[in-house]
A and B are shown apart, each in its own frame.
Chain A
């Protein structure tokens, strides 16, 4: 059955996504503006009929393009295919609001196509690189959990967007980092940014990770990597924006897309979003309070956001500095060095030592991504409820590598369920209530979570019980009672009051976990650094995914690391040999990348 497992999992997720697509989409049957579905369709029409220079300026009042160029290029491809089948679907201007069953099938197919082309392989590649040492059965379960994450399915295949493309490109970047292919990873991340600017939520974590890697590699190799990263990043951006840059356009041409992509002239928030601003707005009416002085709010939100992701950035930088320091200490300690050389049977120079330690910072990265993205979601301005998908992605990666019933698992399940719940007002408006219930039921059965049998032995257990009870209660109340005329927004506000605190706690938890994991990295000492994949193995048997989860929540990480530290020193000859083998493999991989 093993040979069928992955294709069947992918087919099952495809089937579920396809069936969600049977339902309605955002703005269905609501002229004159419709919704996100019409926006995406309109961009196809726009890009195939107009030269690139007009893409960001054409009739901006009707869904003007406000995503970076890669979205526009993807729209162009879809538009060309659509025009080939039926030009009426994407005819300039005259196709506005087209809602035939065939055009809907075509639009749904484009989402499925790019999802299957980018996101599904990205998940598979992630499992293969980050969780390679887990049993194949565990990997298949992890893949299925990631494939069927309800919030993303509902937004992409129900509401209608292409978030999986952006998330898939970021995932490819993460897997490349895990392979030590930092330049490829950087290029992928720029592509992700070039598809949707929301990927900026990840930028602090990814940028610091790469900088940390440079610090970690030392002055010579670090600087070399830094220069290469800068070159690759700049080049990728330049290629993406080429039609808006000289010689294809005047210098000012770049301003059109930029001003569309970063609209600084909108309000602090729209609608009801489960973030800090909307939550506190219940007590403090920010908009009235700062009427006419909105720039203060913008600055405050920027400052809060930076403070919010600062722990992640600091953690990564500190981790890099710390591991670098211990590496220097290791090299200057001749006894340890000699021991190592004996083990390996070859003279391990410092360059070799550098190269084989490429994944030392890696376990920190998912937590840093979570902290950073959640901080943007909670504190930055102009946040949509859909952007919860960005913090959810690293949380789901952590969940997929976690053992059932543990702390990480519990936070992951809570985050996914509250994440979907926070989008309920939107999904309800789209007519996706049944799809919402069905996908949540399927996914929760898959991860093995039942709100009916709560575990109240930990903080997250109690929080999860309270949150799930609250969600059920709110759904029930909304079903039974209509909102009073005085408070038409009662239920969306109650939704925010429940979701935002949970997201805040997930943000705090991610910082705490980041510190724990970072501490373990720094506190392991030289021998641990030479065997990074074994150092925090726990039950995970050396996989990175296992490492993350293998950090025991109950036991102090320091004690754990001490125990493991001792374990490394007293390993038998045969296991040392085995480990040396693995180290060799890692180093060859690093060399082949050509760091």
Chain B
């Protein structure tokens, strides 16, 4: 192959006049190769989420709508909002044509090649939504080359590969809606942005983590003039649009009197503070601090009143509700108050500075606060932070560095989702290659630290990032030498805590950057 064929020719680059969806040759290359690679993962490990989604295909296809939120044939009951149920209903029609056994409610744990191929293919195809949204970002005339690369990198994000294409979920599709909504904000089309987000909320309610930022921004930037005067017409239009969307989604169930049942499915308040495997957030650090304190109390024989349930809980390992021994127990209301208070801090700044950049940063921080301090947070929720963060990562070197720390610790915290050795190799190698593709941005944005504290910070951060090499070696080798002992939880715990440190660091960095940004503008 000659040299010229691989270099993008000037004529191949999309000109401003060409339509945004016309792809250059190298973009098609990337798309085909990435899709083919995902097809290679068809045979890979799949979690119970695969059967969850198969069951939902069956429920929505075979049962009347009045039964959707009541059926308990499978333990994996429908617990996503109605638009997602509708999404499954639409997909169940081709599924029934491919193999009618897929959509039988009683056909639990069906794992024929047909259902694997069908569901895996549906993930790849619906992920096009994400590709379209990101493509619009790369085609924006104002986009810098770093922004284009970062947008493209989101389409190939290891998080999606791990969670969607191996573990099995439809995040690519739903983050496509989110990114499209953010793109609408970028274009100044605030009503469309709000509408897309309202639709997204009715697909998966976890995006409520981000809702406060949308609410404040739309209220300030869309329903009010820059000077602060209220625009009643805009307010009514927005309110009507959002109400209409929710009526379309929830209306049928309200009419059938099923709203309480639906909500009880969406919000099961019966779970513990931590997920079975702790998400790398503040509570993971607190949990481990409690255990350390317990050891200290015991060895020093201090007269501190211990919670005996907590003592029993800590020795039980990771499963179940978390009860602390030394530290006071955390109740759902505490997490709620902390989350709201911290979000308010950023939302006030957003109110004062309702620009697009400020909005995306506030959105990221809203997600971050929920992730750090929310009740029963799952490690997969880190994508709620990483995706919007990617869109502002090239603002400055400080932003990019925050993005690197958040991404490395966030993606690493997803690794335990794939615990089979073969798939663990895939995710590690893929992530490394994805990271190599982002190295040029680091070079272009890099700035030497100028003051003593920033030099120290950089050294500490570099040491932290290098630590992941040792962490990976440890979690690979440790199980080999301790097979069959009670220490099997240790690699998971250390991973969670180490990643949590990075998340706290990235969260603090981004908060400082955002609050500074506001100060400068004011």
Let me know if B1 and A447 touch, CB within 8 A: yes
Per the CB 8 Å criterion, the residue count for chain B at the interface is 33
Residues of B within 8 Å of A8, CB to CB, are 433, 436
- By size class, the interface of chain A is 35 or more
Answer whether A437 and B439 are a contact pair too, CB < 8 Å, given A23-B43, A138-B3: no
Residues of A within 8 Å of B117, CB to CB, are 434
Let me know if A445 and B440 touch, CB within 8 A: no
A439 interface residue per 8 A CB criterion: yes
Let me know if B1 and A18 touch, CB within 8 A: no
B16 interface residue per 8 A CB criterion: no
Let me know if A15 and B42 touch, CB within 8 A: no
In the assembled complex, the Cα of A141 lies from the Cα of B40 at a distance in Å of 22
Let me know if B436 and A19 touch, CB within 8 A: no
Residues of B within 8 Å of A142, CB to CB, are 1
B315 interface residue per 8 A CB criterion: no
Let me know if A445 and B436 touch, CB within 8 A: no
Residues of A within 8 Å of B423, CB to CB, are 22
Task: Please tell me which one of the listed residues B1, B36, B39 contacts residue A403 in the complex, with CB atoms under 8 A apart.
Answer: B1
Task: Please tell me which one of the listed residues A11, A20, A22, A101 contacts residue B432 in the complex, with CB atoms under 8 A apart.
Answer: A11
Let me know if B420 and A101 touch, CB within 8 A: yes
Let me know if B6 and A137 touch, CB within 8 A: yes
Answer whether A145 and B1 are a contact pair too, CB < 8 Å, given A438-B39, A442-B33: yes
In the assembled complex, the Cα of A1 lies from the Cα of B6 at a distance in Å of 15
Answer whether A105 and B422 are a contact pair too, CB < 8 Å, given A23-B43, A434-B43: yes
Let me know if B36 and A437 touch, CB within 8 A: yes
In chain A, positions 134-164 with a C-beta closer than 8 Å to chain B are 135, 137-138, 141-142, 145
Residues of A within 8 Å of B36, CB to CB, are 437-439, 441-442, 445
Let me know if A11 and B429 touch, CB within 8 A: yes
A115 interface residue per 8 A CB criterion: no
A97 interface residue per 8 A CB criterion: no
A4 interface residue per 8 A CB criterion: yes
In the assembled complex, the Cα of A138 lies from the Cα of B2 at a distance in Å of 7
Q: How many A-B residue pairs have CB under 8 A?
A: 94
Answer whether A105 and B1 are a contact pair too, CB < 8 Å, given A23-B43, A141-B6: no
B252 interface residue per 8 A CB criterion: no
Q: How far is the CB of B34 from chain A (nearest CB, A)?
A: 9
A404 interface residue per 8 A CB criterion: yes
Q: How far is the CB of B229 from chain A (nearest CB, A)?
A: 52
Closest to B5 in A: A404
Let me know if B422 and A18 touch, CB within 8 A: yes
Let me know if B41 and A22 touch, CB within 8 A: yes
In chain A, positions 5-34 with a C-beta closer than 8 Å to chain B are 8, 11-12, 14-16, 18-24
Q: How far is the CB of A109 from chain B (nearest CB, A)?
A: 9
Q: How far is the CB of A223 from chain B (nearest CB, A)?
A: 43
B228 interface residue per 8 A CB criterion: no
Task: Please tell me which one of the listed residues A12, A135, A438 contacts residue B433 in the complex, with CB atoms under 8 A apart.
Answer: A12
Let me know if B37 and A448 touch, CB within 8 A: no
Q: How far is the CB of A478 from chain B (nearest CB, A)?
A: 16
In the assembled complex, the Cα of A11 lies from the Cα of B426 at a distance in Å of 11
Let me know if B33 and A445 touch, CB within 8 A: yes
A547 interface residue per 8 A CB criterion: no
In chain B, positions 1-56 with a C-beta closer than 8 Å to chain A are 1-3, 5-6, 28-29, 32-33, 35-37, 39-44
B430 interface residue per 8 A CB criterion: yes
B232 interface residue per 8 A CB criterion: no
B425 interface residue per 8 A CB criterion: yes
Residues of A within 8 Å of B420, CB to CB, are 101
Answer whether A15 and B430 are a contact pair too, CB < 8 Å, given A145-B1, A404-B5: yes
Let me know if A16 and B1 touch, CB within 8 A: no
B64 interface residue per 8 A CB criterion: no
A435 interface residue per 8 A CB criterion: yes
Residues of A within 8 Å of B43, CB to CB, are 22-24, 434
In chain A, positions 452-485 with a C-beta closer than 8 Å to chain B are none
A272 interface residue per 8 A CB criterion: no
B268 interface residue per 8 A CB criterion: no
Residues of B within 8 Å of A20, CB to CB, are 40
Closest to A104 in B: B422
In the assembled complex, the Cα of A438 lies from the Cα of B6 at a distance in Å of 21
Residues of A within 8 Å of B422, CB to CB, are 18, 21-22, 105, 108
Q: How far is the CB of A409 from chain B (nearest CB, A)?
A: 8
Residues of B within 8 Å of A137, CB to CB, are 3, 6
Closest to B45 in A: A22
B421 interface residue per 8 A CB criterion: yes
Residues of A within 8 Å of B5, CB to CB, are 404, 448
Q: How far is the CB of B429 from chain A (nearest CB, A)?
A: 5
Q: How far is the CB of B234 from chain A (nearest CB, A)?
A: 47
Task: Please tell me which one of the listed residues A23, A105, A442 contacts residue B421 in the complex, with CB atoms under 8 A apart.
Answer: A105
Interface string of A40-84 (1 = CB under 8 A from B): 000000000000000000000000000000000000000000000
In chain A, positions 414-448 with a C-beta closer than 8 Å to chain B are 431, 434-435, 437-439, 441-442, 445-448
Q: How far is the CB of A127 from chain B (nearest CB, A)?
A: 13
Residues of A within 8 Å of B40, CB to CB, are 16, 19-20, 22-23, 434-435, 438-439
Let me know if B39 and A437 touch, CB within 8 A: yes
In chain B, positions 432-458 with a C-beta closer than 8 Å to chain A are 432-433, 436, 439-440
Q: How far is the CB of B65 from chain A (nearest CB, A)?
A: 35
Closest to A134 in B: B3
In the assembled complex, the Cα of A12 lies from the Cα of B37 at a distance in Å of 10
Let me know if B37 and A19 touch, CB within 8 A: yes
In the assembled complex, the Cα of A291 lies from the Cα of B36 at a distance in Å of 48
In the assembled complex, the Cα of A439 lies from the Cα of B113 at a distance in Å of 19
In the assembled complex, the Cα of A14 lies from the Cα of B37 at a distance in Å of 12
In the assembled complex, the Cα of A437 lies from the Cα of B3 at a distance in Å of 27
In the assembled complex, the Cα of A145 lies from the Cα of B39 at a distance in Å of 20
Answer whether A1 and B37 are a contact pair too, CB < 8 Å, given A101-B420, A447-B1: no
Q: How far is the CB of B153 from chain A (nearest CB, A)?
A: 15
Let me know if A4 and B421 touch, CB within 8 A: no
Residues of B within 8 Å of A16, CB to CB, are 37, 40
Closest to A135 in B: B3
Closest to B38 in A: A438
Interface centre among B1, B5, B44, B423 (most CB of A within 10 A): B1
In the assembled complex, the Cα of A534 lies from the Cα of B430 at a distance in Å of 42
Q: How far is the CB of A222 from chain B (nearest CB, A)?
A: 39
Answer whether A4 and B426 are a contact pair too, CB < 8 Å, given A403-B1, A438-B37, A447-B1: no
Residues of B within 8 Å of A138, CB to CB, are 1-3
Residues of B within 8 Å of A19, CB to CB, are 37, 40-41, 44, 426
Interface centre among A11, A138, A445 (most CB of B within 10 A): A445
Q: How far is the CB of B433 from chain A (nearest CB, A)?
A: 6
Residues of B within 8 Å of A448, CB to CB, are 1, 5
Let me know if A15 and B426 touch, CB within 8 A: yes
In the assembled complex, the Cα of A446 lies from the Cα of B6 at a distance in Å of 9
Q: How far is the CB of A1 from chain B (nearest CB, A)?
A: 7
Let me know if A445 and B44 touch, CB within 8 A: no
In the assembled complex, the Cα of A446 lies from the Cα of B1 at a distance in Å of 9
Closest to B443 in A: A1
Answer whether A141 and B421 are a contact pair too, CB < 8 Å, given A19-B40, A434-B42, A438-B40: no
Residues of B within 8 Å of A437, CB to CB, are 36, 39
Interface string of A311-336 (1 = CB under 8 A from B): 00000000000000000000000000
Let me know if A18 and B439 touch, CB within 8 A: no
In the assembled complex, the Cα of A437 lies from the Cα of B439 at a distance in Å of 31
Q: How far is the CB of B422 from chain A (nearest CB, A)?
A: 6
In chain A, positions 374-407 with a C-beta closer than 8 Å to chain B are 402-404
16 A-B pairs within 8 Å (CB atoms) are namely A15-B433, A16-B37, A18-B429, A19-B37, A19-B44, A22-B40, A22-B41, A138-B3, A403-B2, A434-B39, A437-B39, A438-B36, A445-B36, A446-B33, A447-B1, A448-B1
Apart from A11-B429, A18-B422, A434-B39, 14 more pairs, CB < 8 Å: A11-B432, A19-B44, A19-B426, A21-B422, A22-B40, A22-B43, A22-B422, A24-B43, A105-B421, A108-B422, A137-B3, A137-B6, A145-B1, A439-B40
The 6 closest A-B pairs by CB, nearest first: A19-B40, A438-B36, A441-B36, A404-B1, A438-B39, A22-B43
